[in-house]
Structure 1
């Protein structure tokens, strides 16, 4: 019997892209979410069966999931939504995939590793741009230099925007500051803690450290103890972040969070169709060891959200014939060349 896939949060920006990708590939899925009007509209557009359900409806959710082999969870912020879905999946014996990039969500889900093995299911957060390309690149670099104990990852998009869900997640977590991994431990650092210029294949770009999921996933799969992740940013933006980072505690206050969230929900929509189709994302990686050896490579991929739709659906499909269980990163499950299975993805070894 074919792998039955449920897309939860299908009406959100990225969830809708994933649903449309499934339709384009001829993959039979069902969709679900709590927004009845939006889910019904998407079901009418795609002719997919639908379910209206809230994560808080625990028994109803578990019962629904028993009919599916895999759920692609797209409803963020995942710090609020991931664990209820994971716990339902453990009881229903349904593989769990999501598209989070939040550090602490990866850590929280890792704690269910033994329970997932016992249930015979896979827990695989981060099957979108967060973190498939960087996870595959980190594993590839570790294979090239097994003695490596320091890793730098950096990425920048040529034409990209931010979805409403991503913006809400960033606003929710900004009060926590930045993070790097140092000597095997997560270290809390200021926002834009380190700033440096990277030479991508299309241009030089200033980048700043960010609290990206690979601080968890790359460490989990490679055990590299020192990891920094950088994202492209203008010097003007970096200057603003440094200027206001002392006020980050304000975004931890409930009523201010609510104001920011409302503003985001009324103004942020995500990349437009032209940028989705024509945009590119560039990912650089460098691994180093104590002897002064290093190895670098670059990935060139389609636009981040465009790629997410493809990696999420393909991850779900690949689980159909895979004898896997427990917590896994994408490259642990599918190999470091998984990212190369997608059109218009190129990996270049750098001098």
Structure 2
């Protein structure tokens, strides 16, 4: 691995976790962001190079970089200019977004990225690595898969940046995939799912899986649900190390075949920030090793369902 990884937004809560782990993994890391003082301070702590630049002036700053990992939310402000810069500079682009619009943006740039020979991948963290890998795993268990349903259960506190990224999710309404098309339902009808501790109520949610799951599985009928107790609790500067180490997150996938066959599988992971720290660096490491498919890719379309279980503390269990 001779290439360099630039972590943009490295001074934020998630960015700092990711940058630290990337350095510990032995990657050649550059930390970057908008604030010269904060970026220089972090670079000094980690013993790496610092670069301060605005997203609108990124092309010159990244020309010697192999992979850019964007951890700077809200991604509605940073994703487009950084994707454009990567396409112009020939740099592979990754981000840790959970914002629906960022997934649709990356998908829309597929042809341009393919021509440029670079890979665009949004959702290299808990959104959407475990659920995307689980979706492909479960789909492969059904002879003639037709419909995919994903349910997510998350708990715990969130950083200021994560809450900013989550703002406006209600405005998207109730979205599902029907025959390959995004469709807005008139009403959000709840369903119950069992993540291992009895039935829990979940509501349809406009998550990135509505974009990534069709890419990875080829299915045109997709629904995503979020547990109703999956609240966004403000912990200001983000969860402590002890809080990150406590508990688990869950995703359940249900695939229905054309013959009525139903397969269900469950993925259990560390809490979201811990998983994101590990998974985003693992994906960056693979890209630096040349494991790249040009164009827009989801985690599972690029690296298969096994990617999730390479992350420490992550298991997939077939329920039926």
Gaps spanning 5+ residues in structure 2: where?
none
Counterpart check, 1:311 vs 2:279: yes
The answer for the alignment partner of 1:34 in structure 2 is 34
Cα shift readout 1:280-312 (whole Å, capped 9, x = no counterpart): 111111000232211010011111110001110
The answer for the alignment partner of 2:55 in structure 1 is 55
The answer for the alignment partner of 1:327 in structure 2 is 296
- Compared with structure 1, are the counterparts of its residues 286 and 91 closer, same or farther at alpha carbon in structure 2 (3 Å cutoff)? same
- Compared with structure 1, are the counterparts of its residues 133 and 63 closer, same or farther at alpha carbon in structure 2 (3 Å cutoff)? same
- Compared with structure 1, are the counterparts of its residues 306 and 190 closer, same or farther at alpha carbon in structure 2 (3 Å cutoff)? farther
Counterpart check, 1:344 vs 2:310: no
CA distance, structure 2, for counterparts of residue 190 and residue 68 of structure 1? 46
The answer for the alignment partner of 1:85 in structure 2 is 82
- Measured after TM superposition, the shift of residue 323 of structure 1 is 4.5
The answer for the alignment partner of 1:111 in structure 2 is 108
Q: Which structure: larger Rg?
A: 1
Cα shift readout 1:49-71 (whole Å, capped 9, x = no counterpart): 111111122xxx11111110000
CA distance, structure 1, for counterparts of residue 8 and residue 64 of structure 2? 14
TM-score normalized by the length of structure 1: 0.85
The answer for the alignment partner of 1:282 in structure 2 is 250
Counterpart of 1:149 in 2: which secondary structure? strand
Counterpart of 1:37 in 2: which secondary structure? helix
Superposition RMSD in Å: 1.9
CA distance, structure 1, for counterparts of residue 146 and residue 243 of structure 2? 37
- Measured after TM superposition, the shift of residue 232 of structure 1 is 1.6
- Measured after TM superposition, the shift of residue 203 of structure 1 is 4.4
Residue 170 of structure 2: which of 150, 154, 174 is its match? 174
2:71–2:95 contact (8 Å) kept in structure 1? yes
Where do residues 143-158 of structure 1 align in structure 2 (5 Å cutoff)? 143-157=140-154
Counterpart check, 1:268 vs 2:257: no
Where do residues 204-215 of structure 1 align in structure 2 (5 Å cutoff)? 204-215=199-210
CA distance, structure 2, for counterparts of residue 345 and residue 51 of structure 1? 34
CA distance, structure 2, for counterparts of residue 9 and residue 42 of structure 1? 11
Matched residue count: 317
- Compared with structure 1, are the counterparts of its residues 185 and 122 closer, same or farther at alpha carbon in structure 2 (3 Å cutoff)? same
The answer for the alignment partner of 1:224 in structure 2 is 219
CA distance, structure 2, for counterparts of residue 78 and residue 314 of structure 1? 21
Gaps spanning 5+ residues in structure 1: where?
238-263
The answer for the alignment partner of 2:6 in structure 1 is 6
Q: Considering fraction of residues, name the structure with more helix.
A: 1
CA distance, structure 1, for counterparts of residue 43 and residue 292 of structure 2? 32
- Measured after TM superposition, the shift of residue 317 of structure 1 is 0.7
Counterpart check, 1:199 vs 2:194: yes
CA distance, structure 1, for counterparts of residue 204 and residue 237 of structure 2? 25
Range with bigger deviation, 296-305 or 105-114: 105-114
Cα shift readout 1:169-208 (whole Å, capped 9, x = no counterpart): 22234323231222321122368x1212211124432222
Cα shift readout 1:13-65 (whole Å, capped 9, x = no counterpart): 111110121133232201100023322222222122111111122xxx11111
TM-score normalized by the length of structure 2: 0.93
- Compared with structure 1, are the counterparts of its residues 178 and 164 closer, same or farther at alpha carbon in structure 2 (3 Å cutoff)? farther
Runs (4+) off by over 4 Å: none
Residue 262 of structure 2: which of 265, 272, 294 is its match? 294
CA distance, structure 2, for counterparts of residue 25 and residue 190 of structure 1? 47
